[in-house]
Amino acid sequence: MSDFDSNPFADPDLSHPFQDPSVTQVRPVAPPGLEEYNPFTDVKSTPAGMAPKTGGAAAAAANIQPAIMKPTEEPPAYSHAQPQEQTRAATELLKRQEELEKKAAELDRREREMQSLSASGGRKNNWPPLPEQFPVGPCFYHDVTVDIPVEFQKTVKIMYYLWMFHAGTLMANLVGCLAWFIVDASRGVDFGLSILWLLVFTPCSFVCWYRPLYGAFRSDSSFRFFIFFFVYICQFGVYVIQCIGISGWGASGWISALTGLNKSIPVGIIMLLVAALFTALAVMSLFMFKKVHGMYRTTGASFEKAQHEFATGVMSNKTVQTAAANAASRAAQESFKEQI
18-61: per-residue pLDDT in tens? 566 665 665 555 555 555 556 555 544 444 444 444 444 444 44
H/E element holding 161?
Answer: helix 150-183
Give the CA angle between residues 183, 199, 282 to the nearest 5°.
Answer: 80
pLDDT bin (cut points 50, 70, 90) of residue 314 is very low
In three-state secondary structure terms, 127 is strand
**Residues pairing with 140 in the sheet:** 127
Largest CA distance in the chain: 180
| Tens digits of residue pLDDT in 90-126 | 888 888 888 888 778 777 777 776 666 655 555 788 8
Choose among 145, 164, 277: nearest CA to 218.
145
Q: Is 140 helix (H, G, I), strand (E, B) or coil?
A: strand
- 134-162: per-residue pLDDT in tens? 888 888 889 898 888 888 899 999 999 99
At residue 60, the pLDDT reads 45
Q: What is the pLDDT of residues 260-307, one digit of tens each?
A: 998 899 999 999 999 999 999 999 999 999 999 888 877 665 556 555
pTM of the model: 0.60
- Considering only CA atoms, which of 221, 143, 153, 128 is closest in space to residue 229? 221
pLDDT (0 to 100) of residue 17: 58
pLDDT at 3 over 90: no
250 Rama class: left (phi>0) / alpha (psi -120 to 50) / beta? left
**Residue 313 pLDDT exceeds 90:** no
263: Cβ contacts below 8 Å, ≥ 6 apart: 180, 183, 184
- Give me the pLDDT at residue 221, please: 82
Reply yes or no on whether the pLDDT at 255 is more than 50. Answer: yes
The whole-angstrom separation of Cα 8 and Cα 2 is: 11
State residue 337's pLDDT score: 65
Give the amino acid at 324: A
Dump the DSSP string for 200-230.
HHHHHHIIIIIHHHHHHHHHT-HHHHHHHHH
Contact 177, 258 (CB under 8 A): no
What is the rounded CA–CA span in Å between residue 262 and residue 320?
58
Please tell me the distance from the alpha carbon of residue 328 to that of residue 335, in angstroms, as a whole number. 11
Q: Find the length of the chain.
A: 340
Q: What is the model's pLDDT at position 268? A: 92
Domain borders along the chain are 149-307
Distance CA 139, CA 149 (A): 22
Lowest-confidence range among 4-13, 44-53, 311-320? 44-53
